[in-house]
Structure 1
Amino acid sequence: MTATPSPNMTATPNPNMTATPNPNMTATPSPNMTTTPSPNMTATPSPNMTAVPGHNMTTTPGPNMTTTAQPATTAAKLEPNTTVESLQGAISRTDCGKSELCAAQPEDCDPSEAGSCFFVSAKRTNGQNFEFALAGESDGYVAASLSTDTALGGNDTTYVCANNNGMVQFFGAVLNNNVFMKTELNVNSVKGRVTGNKIECTFAATVPVSRNRASLSFSMAVSTGSFNNGTLGKPNTRIQTNIVDLSNSNSTVTNQIQTTTVTPTTTPSGAVVLQQSLSQALMISLGVLILAML
């Protein structure tokens, strides 16, 4: 006989009745069923259970989780050591535009060749650290300055290579109001030599922080001056560039100083030949004077 329950019949379970599940019975959840855990329920994962994160799942670290920081990418500043070693071989512009940013006066001159040439180059090694080469003609010193703007003299970091009785002596300095004040800079690996009145030196330096901290942009300057008993004379600027990225060897470099050289024509006896315009002016003045006397 089969018992068919009435649709309105309610089954009231006995409070002492225990339901014994069939060991072969499988509970199949409804697709719309939601399981709400008890507040005291603890979920114990199976040792073989693998958690596969959902596409939008976000992992929030617990209060006791330790995060390992990535190593810093900023290179350490160079330790100062301005002992000058002998420079073997002349500085040249071979790597200009390849691995070095260069500025020169005259433009494209090569300091390794004969003739006047003021030259500076910069090659980035890491972080704020660079290798520099500096050359120029002077009986006193040749200096390279870095300015965060195009106006020299606002405490600009300067590297000075001076001729001290035929040997290079190196100074760190800041340029302010056209006067050098010696100071210690993060410079080492200095090498130099003096050949006649040509001063050449190379060195490694940690450059200052530029106005835009994310870049390495400066105006470069090369200057010369006197050097007497350790005193640096006022600078005579030979090169002053536009703002350039020192780390970009292909930066466009323009010398902001326009130099005009006037070469007078002389007679074999050494007298200066007057320009035609000056001669004409003199003749006109004489003519006016003669007419006034008549």
Structure 2
Amino acid sequence: MPPHSMTTNIMTTAPATATTTAAVATTTNTTLITNTTVIALETPVGRTGCGTQQICGSEPSDCDPSSSSSSCFFVSAKQTDGQNFEFSISGESSGYIAATVSADTTVGGNDTTYICANNNGKVKFFSALLDNDKLTVTELPVNSVQGRVDGNLIQCTFVATLDLTTTRAAATSASLSLSTGTFDSTSGSLGTPDTKFRSGVVDLSDSTATISNELTTTNATTTATPAVTGHATTFQQSLVQVLLISMGVFTMALV
């Protein structure tokens, strides 16, 4: 999509109607003008301000995306105005990394997704809707995009207006996911996302909130069962050996 002619961080506010009360007018949300032109990200994405100024999630837990010595999948969100949030994402992929914002924990129900792809050593930005593991590129209100590629490391920051259709009391409550996938720089096609991090639903405006990777918790629970099965198999094998030895002794006694 060609760059918008206006500069980044320009926002428009829908005019209030004559019947709109003053209380409602003060909470009217500003919607960003779309501009996905990517400029160079000079400062690497890091954990500065996590838990105080922005909400952060990562895999492994507490890994530092600014360190070149560790593999780290990282996503953060910081409220700037109403339902406008500044996002930072970081991860290793030869294709793309993507942040998905969902009003519930069922990711992939036409959920807003922001994608930073490695386009021959430079970041190419897409906004899309994720539905049943399929990404459909769609223009969404997002701007101030910055990005960098270092080998397979992709990092980018951007500001986006969230539209969370939900019955929850907080219009800023959502689940955050970070995924990777393939990207064909020739055709521009995006592969099926592979989720690396997924949080529970949390109020994104609460910078002190703690989020963890629910995928790690689920995997730990799932892998606990085979350990019991392994013990049972070992016990069964030992019992068979005892029976065989006993039968041998008994046979020799008869002879």
* TM interval, short-chain normalised: 0.7 to 0.9
SS of match in other structure, 2:213 = coil
TM-superposition CA deviations, 1:111-137 (whole Å, max 9, x none)? 001211000000001111010001000
CA distance in 2 between counterparts of 1:194 and 1:85 reads: 12
Query: Counterparts of 1:83 and 1:123 in 2: how far apart (Å)?
Result: 21
2:210 maps to which of 252, 270, 289: 252
Asked if the contact 2:102/2:164 (under 8 Å) is kept, the reply is: no
Residue 182 of structure 2 corresponds to which residue in structure 1? 226
- Tell me which residue corresponds to 1:117: 72
Change (3 A) 1:243 1:214: closer
- The answer as to whether partners of 2:58 and 2:212 remain within 8 angstroms in 1 is no
User: Are the equivalent residues in 2 in contact too, given 1:210–1:217 (CA < 8 A)?
Assistant: no
Number of residue pairs aligned between Structure 1 and Structure 2: 214
**Does the 8 Å contact 2:52/2:208 carry over to 1?**
yes
Higher relative contact order (CA 8 A, sep 6+): 2
RMSD of aligned alpha carbons: 2.9
Distance 1:255 1:202 in 2: 21
Normalized per residue, which structure has more strand? Answer: 2
Output the CA distance in 2 between the equivalents of 1:72 and 1:192: 34
Structure 1 residue 279, shift from structure 2 partner: 11
* Change in 2 beyond 3 A, CA 1:107/1:247: same
Paired position in structure 1 for 2:61: 107
Contact 1:137–1:198 (Cα < 8 Å) also in 2: yes
Q: Which amino acid aligns with 2:188?
A: G
Are 2:95 and 1:140 equivalent residues in the alignment?
A: yes
CA distance in 2, matches of 1:115, 1:165: 23
Q: Structure 1: which 5+ residue stretches go unaligned?
A: 1-65, 263-276
Q: Which has the larger radius of gyration?
A: 1
- Aligned to 1:112, the other structure's residue is in SS state coil
Runs of 4+ deviating beyond 6 Å: 277-289
Verify: 1:91 aligned to 2:49, yes or no. Answer: no
Asked if the contact 1:187–1:206 (Cα under 8 Å) also holds between the matched residues in 2, the reply is yes
User: 2:234 & 2:119 partners in 1: Cα distance?
Assistant: 49
Q: How much does 1:89 deviate?
A: 1.7
Counterpart residue number, 1:198: 153
After TM superposition, give the deviation of residue 76 of structure 1 in Å: 1.3
Residues 284 and 227 (structure 1 numbering): CA distance in 2 closer, same or farther, change over 3 Å? farther
Given the two structures, how large is their TM-score scaled by the length of structure 2? 0.75
Q: What secondary structure sits across from 1:77 in the alignment?
A: strand
Give identity over the alignment, percent. Answer: 49
Question: d(CA) in 1 for partners of 2:242 and 2:188?
Answer: 59
Distance across 1 between alignment mates of 2:20 and 2:155: 47
- Match of 2:30, SS state, is coil
**Aligned residue number for residue 196 of structure 2:** 238
Q: Which amino acid aligns with 1:244?
A: V
Q: Is the contact made by 1:97 and 1:249 (CA closer than 8 Å) also made in structure 2?
A: yes
Gaps of 5+ in 2: 1-17, 224-231, 248-255
**What is the CA–CA distance in structure 1 between the aligned matches of 2:34 and 2:207, rounded to whole Å?**
26
Q: How far off its partner does 1:69 sit?
A: 5.5
Equivalent position SS for 1:252: coil
Q: How does 1:262-273 map to 2 (within 5 A)?
A: none
Q: TM-score, normalised by structure 1?
A: 0.65
